[in-house]
């Protein structure tokens, strides 16, 4: 065993003292630094005991007696997870997106957490879409906080896609494309995830030289910190998509033109055929340019068929299988040509989303020419088969992915939507059930892949803990501990509230949890659904009844405002649906009365959320504007950011549906007024586009003087009876 006390700055190995510099792979210093950044105090009095890994899997543990705290871990993230478990269990503290109560106590509380080894080699986090719906305008300060939160939650395999386009630009220049051709290829910053997956080109672009230089500098810091913490970042690879300028330069190459998202084909992708020599050449160049800038990496992400089907003859399955086999080989070989030690990583979302296209033979064909140890499939959406697709889980359908290594994961959030949703019982048991299945194959990892962060925080706390055990979690016991950690204590009314939350919003998962007033009229393409029902209303009432005891707890206050605002939003939605019915029946006076009451409620919810740590439009817009280096960029980035969460593009209107202060008052409410005043679709579209291009003034957000008291008063006034 290794032991370290930072007063001596030395490691003891079986009684012999060595200076830290002797150990090239110091896993203790970066763990200590995370603890110090997250608590704001020195961690000099914490002892660190290094554990061996078991079959490449991490272990952690904690012991504390007589005021001496010892963290045990086999990696930096095992140490930080050990500390976080101690902080939650013994000190009743928590760190989350909406705030943190972590600090080091004057006297360490007694604790004994036995050494536990994760059943997984990798604990995965993030989604390609997160880099649009959440992170596109983050600076290093925000990324540093996120990486620290990842470390506390034990994550050791994050996605790291920043600066993809800066490297791609160098590749395209080497391939003979002009600056104009390259600039036209890229989308605006918030839409880059769909550009990377081949869904979308040009939309809201171009990207400037400033953007590329900023992103390269940022990615250096991100990768340096991730590697310092012993994480295994997944970085981008070439997926086969080429600019229109390349197509014009090489008319002899028969590219495939895909379709996606209801966009005009001029915005959609061109993909190289797998037998083109350019596939290997470009893929090799991309890896070489990436590693020339950022150093060697092992895990490279390439998603070539996200939500798109190959344009093939549906009746010629043999040709389909041959083509898929060639594509699998081409993608892998293009990565290996740049780095023979690299592992191709692909998101398994599309295999379930398009399960009719990806039958057993099709997926086997894609995988058959790739060595088993050179591919990892992230089976993203293990929550979706139950709630949306009504199918068997994808890994079960495909027999544990036919000998390839894979990661079991979930997509608890789509588009960064902020309404409460998630199947906690499924999250507490589903991965454990996989371990007992004879077809689990080479299951090596576990994680979560939210499209948007900063929402439904209970889900991610639960999933972080599931990454360290095979057995199901006792949800009742876990939730009691969660409340103590998050709010400092768990009075009976709070326990009751969370049981009611589990029976309502947290016993379901829907693709489109949105209010009807957020889509103006009922969306028949993407049907909105949520479980903010009577059980949820009782939960919020019980939760707010604890305010006299818990009002000084910051995470209680933020949750109280969030729950209360969603309570009000749901009550407003019921009224709004009645207003729509009255309008459709020609009862204009009644419709106006109902919509006026709806708007009054929404404006109150908007003011409540003005005091919430995350659910504010101003944070999103200010991050976009701060990234800009010129006035032109400022306008582009703000428009780009606002478009993504409102009109989106193609058939994705109102997809992201954020329930945010500022967005309610300045976007949703005026749009409702215009609709009920008789504006047609064309007029609404014109107003929306004008709103996107008008600067948002964050000074218009007007919080209540005492938002928690006001929240209780508002909820009391809306209670039945």
Average pLDDT, integer, range 91-105: 95
Q: Please, which pLDDT band fits residue 25 given cuts at 50, 70 and 90?
A: confident
The gap between the terminal CA atoms of the chain, to the nearest Å, is 65
Task: Output the DSSP codes for 30-63.
Answer: HHHHHHHHHHSS--TTEEEEEPPPBTTB-EEEEE
pLDDT digit string, tens, across residues 355-369: 999 999 999 999 999
Residues forming a β-bridge with 508: 422
Query: With 90 as the cut, is the pLDDT of residue 315 above it?
Result: no
Task: Output the DSSP codes for 579-607.
Answer: HHHHHHTT-HHHHHHHHHHHHHHHHHHHH
Cα 444 to the center of its chain, rounded Å: 21
Q: Please, which pLDDT band fits residue 699 given cuts at 50, 70 and 90?
A: confident
Q: Please, which pLDDT band fits residue 313 given cuts at 50, 70 and 90?
A: confident
Q: Are 372 and 404 in contact (CB under 8 A)?
A: yes
Average pLDDT, integer, range 675-679: 96
Give the model's pLDDT for residue 196.
97
Average pLDDT over all residues of the chain:
94
Phi/psi at 172 (nearest 5 deg)?
-65, -35
Question: H/E element holding 499?
Answer: helix 492-503
Structure tokens at 130: 């997160």
Q: Measured between alpha carbons, how far is 518 from 569 in angstroms, rounded to an integer? A: 10
Q: Please, which pLDDT band fits residue 4 given cuts at 50, 70 and 90?
A: very low
Structure tokens at 128: 């390609």
Query: With 70 as the cut, is the pLDDT of residue 1 above it?
Result: no
Average pLDDT, integer, range 184-194: 97
- Using DSSP's 3-state secondary structure scheme, residue 577 falls into helix
**In the chain, % of residues over pLDDT 90:** 93
Residue 20 DSSP code: G
Cα 197 to the center of its chain, rounded Å: 16
Q: Please, which pLDDT band fits residue 669 given cuts at 50, 70 and 90?
A: very high
Q: How much of the chain is in helix, strand and coil states, percent to nearest 5?
A: 50, 15, 40
Average pLDDT, integer, range 163-179: 97
Q: Measured between alpha carbons, how far is 31 from 43 in angstroms, rounded to an integer? A: 10
Number of helices (H), then strands (E), in the chain: 30, 22
pLDDT digit string, tens, across residues 275-294: 999 999 999 999 999 999 99
Structure tokens at 445: 């990892």
Give the model's pLDDT for residue 2.
40
Average pLDDT, integer, range 410-437: 96
Residue keyed to tokens 């983050």: 138
Structure tokens at 514: 């949105």
Helical residues (DSSP H) of 126-178, grouped into ranges: 130-133, 140-152, 164-174
Give the model's pLDDT for residue 312.
86
Q: Are 319 and 327 in contact (CB under 8 A)?
A: no
Give the model's pLDDT for residue 698.
82
Average pLDDT, integer, range 593-611: 98
Give the model's pLDDT for residue 507.
97
Task: Output the DSSP codes for 203-218.
Answer: TT----HHHHHHHHHH
Residue keyed to tokens 């309502």: 504
Q: Please, which pLDDT band fits residue 721 given cuts at 50, 70 and 90?
A: low
**In the chain, % of residues over pLDDT 70:** 97
Give the model's pLDDT for residue 7.
37
Q: Measured between alpha carbons, how far is 690 from 705 in angstroms, rounded to an integer? A: 32
pTM: 0.95
Q: Please, which pLDDT band fits residue 720 given cuts at 50, 70 and 90?
A: confident
Query: With 80 as the cut, is the pLDDT of residue 14 above it?
Result: no
């Amino acid at each position: 065993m290794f032991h370290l006390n930072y007063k001596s700055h030395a490691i003891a190995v079986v009684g012999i003292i060595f200076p830290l510099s002797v150990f090239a792979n110091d896993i203790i210093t970066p763990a200590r630094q995370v603890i110090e950044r997250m608590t704001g105090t020195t961690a000099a009095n914490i002892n660190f005991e290094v554990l061996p890994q078991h079959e490449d899997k991490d272990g952690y543990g904690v012991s504390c007696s007589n005021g001496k705290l010892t963290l045990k871990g086999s990696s930096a993230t095992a140490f930080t997870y050990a500390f976080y478990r101690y902080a939650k269990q013994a000190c009743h503290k928590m760190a989350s997106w909406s705030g943190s109560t972590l600090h080091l106590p004057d006297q360490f509380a007694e604790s004994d957490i036995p050494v536990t080894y994760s059943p997984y080699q990798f604990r995965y986090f993030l989604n390609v879409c997160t880099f649009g719906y959440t992170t596109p305008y983050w600076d290093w300060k925000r990324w540093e906080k996120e990486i620290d939160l990842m470390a506390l939650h034990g994550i050791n395999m994050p996605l790291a896609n920043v600066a993809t386009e800066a490297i791609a630009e160098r590749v395209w220049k080497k391939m003979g494309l002009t600056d104009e051709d390259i600039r036209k290829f890229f989308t605006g910053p918030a839409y880059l995830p769909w550009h990377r997956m081949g869904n979308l080109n040009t939309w809201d672009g171009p990207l400037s030289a400033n953007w590329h230089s900023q992103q390269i500098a940022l990615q250096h810091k991100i990768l340096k910190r991730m590697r310092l913490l012993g994480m295994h970042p997944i970085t981008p690879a070439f997926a086969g998509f080429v600019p229109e300028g390349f197509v014009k330069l090489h008319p002899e190459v028969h590219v495939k033109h895909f379709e996606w998202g209801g966009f005009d084909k001029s915005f959609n992708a061109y993909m190289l055929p797998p037998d083109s020599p350019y596939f290997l050449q470009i893929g090799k160049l991309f890896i070489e340019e990436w590693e020339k800038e950022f150093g060697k990496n092992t895990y490279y992400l390439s998603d070539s068929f996200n939500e798109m089907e190959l344009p093939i003859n549906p009746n010629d399955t043999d040709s389909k299988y041959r083509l898929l086999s060639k594509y699998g080989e081409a993608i892998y070989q293009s990565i290996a040509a740049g780095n023979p030690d690299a592992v191709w990583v692909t998101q398994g979302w599309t295999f379930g989303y398009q399960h009719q296209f990806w039958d057993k033979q099709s997926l086997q064909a894609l995988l058959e020419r790739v060595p088993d140890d050179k591919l990892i499939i992230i089976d993203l959406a293990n929550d979706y088969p139950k709630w949306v697709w009504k199918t068997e889980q994808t890994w079960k359908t495909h027999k544990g992915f036919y000998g390839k290594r894979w990661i079991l994961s979930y997509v608890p959030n789509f588009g960064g939507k902020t309404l409460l949703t998630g199947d906690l019982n499924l999250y507490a048991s589903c991965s454990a059930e996989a371990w007992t299945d004879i077809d689990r194959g080479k299951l090596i990892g576990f994680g979560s892949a939210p499209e948007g962060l900063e929402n439904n925080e209970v889900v991610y706390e639960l999933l972080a803990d599931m990454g360290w055990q095979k057995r199901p979690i006792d949800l009742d016991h876990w939730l009691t501990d969660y409340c103590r950690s998050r709010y400092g204590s768990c009075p009976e009314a709070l326990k009751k509230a969370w049981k009611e939350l589990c029976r309502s919003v947290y016993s379901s998962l829907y693709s489109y949890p949105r209010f009807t007033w957020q889509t103006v009229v009922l969306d028949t393409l993407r049907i909105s659904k949520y479980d903010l029902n009577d059980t949820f209303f009782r939960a919020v009432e019980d939760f707010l009844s604890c305010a006299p005891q818990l009002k000084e707890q910051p995470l209680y206050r933020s949750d109280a405002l969030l729950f209360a605002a969603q309570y009000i939003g749901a009550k407003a939605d019921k009224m709004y649906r009645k207003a729509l019915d009255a309008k459709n029946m020609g009862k204009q006076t009644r419709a106006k009365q109902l919509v006026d009451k709806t708007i009054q409620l929404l404006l109150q919810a908007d003011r409540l959320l003005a005091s919430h740590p995350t659910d504010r439009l101003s944070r999103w817009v200010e991050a976009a504007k701060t990234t800009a280096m010129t006035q032109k960029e400022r306008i582009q980035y703000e428009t780009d950011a606002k478009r993504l969460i409102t009109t989106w593009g193609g058939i994705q209107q109102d997809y992201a549906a954020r329930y945010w202060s500022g967005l309610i008052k300045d976007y949703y409410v005026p749009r409702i007024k215009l609709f009920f005043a008789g504006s047609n679709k064309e007029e609404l579209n014109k107003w929306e586009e004008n709103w996107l291009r008008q600067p948002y003034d964050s000074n218009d957000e007007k919080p209540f003087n005492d938002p928690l008291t006001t929240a209780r008063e508002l909820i009391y006034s809306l209670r039945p009876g």
